[in-house]
Amino acid sequence: MPRHSITVTAYHPDGTICPSDHRHTTGGTPLTEGCTGRERFVATCSCNVWTSSPSSTKSYAAELGRRHRSDQFPAKSAPPSKGPAVVRELLRFDAEV
């Protein structure tokens, strides 16, 4: 199976990519001269089939990517427990003394 890797890309308001070397404050104000700021983030999968809708935060775009990856490779679930039957077996009292 191919490994799905997610890339999150930031875009300027004019639609150009905001390179990772453009620095910003925690509030999003650009510190790099000439940078107009980041308007949106888009997550893309290496499978070339999925791309997220634009989001206003990088963490949300990354979360969409994690959800896509988990949909492609669901975790194996544990077998269902036998419920009360297991408890009855463990707590079985014998009437014989």
> For the segment 20-60, what is each residue's pLDDT rounded down to a tens digit?
899 988 877 899 999 999 999 999 988 888 888 888 888 99
Q: What is the pTM of this model?
A: 0.66
Question: Would you call 43 exposed, middle or buried from its count of C-beta atoms within 10 A (0-12, 13-18, 19+)?
Answer: buried
> For the segment 87-97, what is each residue's pLDDT rounded down to a tens digit?
666 676 664 54
Q: What pLDDT does 11 receive?
A: 93
